Amino acid sequence: MKSLLTAALLNRAAKPVLFLLCLTPLAWLVWGAVANRLGANPAEAIIRGLGDWTLRGLWLALAVTPLRELTGLAALARFRRMLGVFTFVYASLHLLAYGWLDQGLDLAEIAADIVKRPFILMGFLAWALMLPLAATSFNKAIKALGAKRWQALHKVVYAVGVIALLHFIWMRAGKSNFAEPAVYGAILAVLLGWRVYRRLTRK
């Protein structure tokens, strides 16, 4: 079974399939907007939908290493970069949708909103921390920085996960809806807890 899964993961078609899967939520949102299937407040549905898929992509990217080590499927590592880049794309579209559909691309209003509302500040900070990670996600950047410095930089993704979760919790706090944030929080706790456990056991 393991050999079959490894062969599938190493297949040339695996990355194109993942690429299409990563595009599917965006295509669904675009279709929903064009077909008027996003409910009474399509702007909110687009902003929230892009934010939800940013979190899911980030959690999937963080899950690659634990899954790789627990299953012994080393080939999973080849998909981590694509998941990370798509997560940044969705985060950028989420930010753009907020700035355009909610604030009319008024930079002064956006800046004031970032200062005024903590959950907007957390979201912007998470995106800003993702920016250098996305900018150094290619092979030349790894060579230029050196493997150790590149790895140290990309550990910022753990902070991004925590800040993104705070953004989500604060956003849902306005409607006292904590059920979904609790699920995301539990998953992140497992993913980060596993890394702490591995570090301690290695020492």
Q: What is the tens place of the pLDDT at every residue in 25-40?
A: 999 999 999 999 998 8
Q: What is the tens place of the pLDDT at every residue in 111-154?
A: 999 989 999 999 999 999 999 999 998 888 888 888 888 888 88
Reported as a pLDDT band with limits 50, 70 and 90, residue 44 is: very high
Spatial distance between the Cα atoms of 155 and 148, rounded to a whole number of angstroms:
11
| Backbone phi and psi for residue 10, each to the nearest 5 degrees, phi listed first | -90, -5
Q: Is the pLDDT of residue 1 over 80?
A: no
Element (H, E) at 126: helix 118-135
Let me know if 104 is exposed, middle or buried by CB neighbors in 10 A (0-12, 13-18, 19+). exposed
pTM above 0.85, yes or no: yes
Q: What is the pLDDT of residue 203?
A: 65
Q: What is the tens place of the pLDDT at every residue in 84-105?
A: 999 999 999 999 999 999 999 9
Q: Is the pLDDT of residue 170 over 80?
A: yes
What's the average model confidence in pLDDT over 142-171?
Answer: 91
What percent of the chain is predicted at pLDDT more than 90?
Answer: 69
Where exactly are the structural domains of the chain? 2-202
Q: How crowded is residue 35: how many other Cβ atoms within 10 Å of its Cβ?
A: 8
Distances (CA, A) of 10 to 71, 77, 82, 138, 143: 15, 11, 15, 20, 24
What percent of the chain is predicted at pLDDT more than 70?
Answer: 99
Burial 46-73 (b: 16+ CB within 10 A, else e): bbbbbbbbbbbbbbbbbbbbbebeeeeb
Round the average pLDDT of the chain to a whole number and report it.
92
